[in-house]
Structure 1
Amino acid sequence: VVDLLFTSDGAENVAAAPAGTTGTVALAPTTANATNGALALTVPAGAAATFSAPSLVNNKSTTVGTLGAVTVNDGRVVSRNGWDLSANVANFVNSTDATSTISKIQLGLAPSVTVAGTSATGVTAAAAQVAGSASYPAAFASGAAANTVGDSVLNAGLTFVAPQEKAAGTYTSTLTLTVVSK
């Protein structure tokens, strides 16, 4: 126990505790060296983007949707290298006529970082790809070195614009995400 006394000018005086009222205990915890975990990408099993019903915009069939949440987990607590996530898209194929395809450049992709569930810092979404002039593979997001340990939950807005000469129907494709260390 330490009694604090203050002088009239506000200075602090520390009075010694009475004899027999204090004691000391030595502290010497042992620590272990941290080890790097893995850099991993989690996409839910059976993941499928959701799209709204198509509408005509400038007489072109246009539909919008969302990719759905994916997570980059960076467990590299020692090296903290950072990472880059890229997206690649296959050309779209008509589900009833495999000879009818639509180029992947027709898929617009607007990546975003989802605050809920994201514990990492230093994560930024890449610039959007514009439907009709998209270029794949494309950057999706990146994690800055020294900051990205933990989970980064990502999503993307999607816009698909079909050329006017293409037959109506369902066109299928796949989007492949790849995370690499910096």
Structure 2
Amino acid sequence: METARSQQQTPTTALTAFARFVLCGGGVGLASSFAVAALASWTPWALANALVTAVSTLLATELHARFTFGAGRRATWRQHAQSAGSAAVAYAATCAAMAVLQLLVAAPGAVVEQAVYLSASALAGVARFAVLRLVVFARNHAQTTATVRATRPVDATVARAAAPAGTAALCHAA
């Protein structure tokens, strides 16, 4: 019990979180690529891609909430919505990169297409990591810190002795 509590209260470093982000996101992405291929044999590819993208984004957000960013609990609806928004922007960025490639090169080879797509995906992934860490899951770190501070009771005599003279009068005057 104490180990689980201390793991939740220990802030995750950026490097550790990024490694977890790559592991979770990469694992979900790899599984998604197989799922799209399998589902596309029964439905149109665009529909298969949309369904798998929605499911994989939900799964990845849960993994990021519980594991990547050290929250240790389920993602909220707000976090799911923000994560979906960042995934949509990343998707648009990779589509734009491929569209630009098609405009610049009449018939790009498979290697060039893969290089452009993977480069755009990597840049979008780094940007998405920053958004998830600094915006979507940032409150979890603040809440954890507040919880740690709140669980340490302060003796009333220590608090009064530490407060500057006249603080009570200022609080009542305001």
Same fold (TM over 0.5): no
Task: Find the structure with the greater CA-based Rg.
Answer: 1
Structure number having the greater strand percentage? 1
Structure number having the greater helix percentage? 2
Calculate the TM-score normalised by the size of structure 2.
Answer: 0.26
Higher relative contact order (CA 8 A, sep 6+): 1
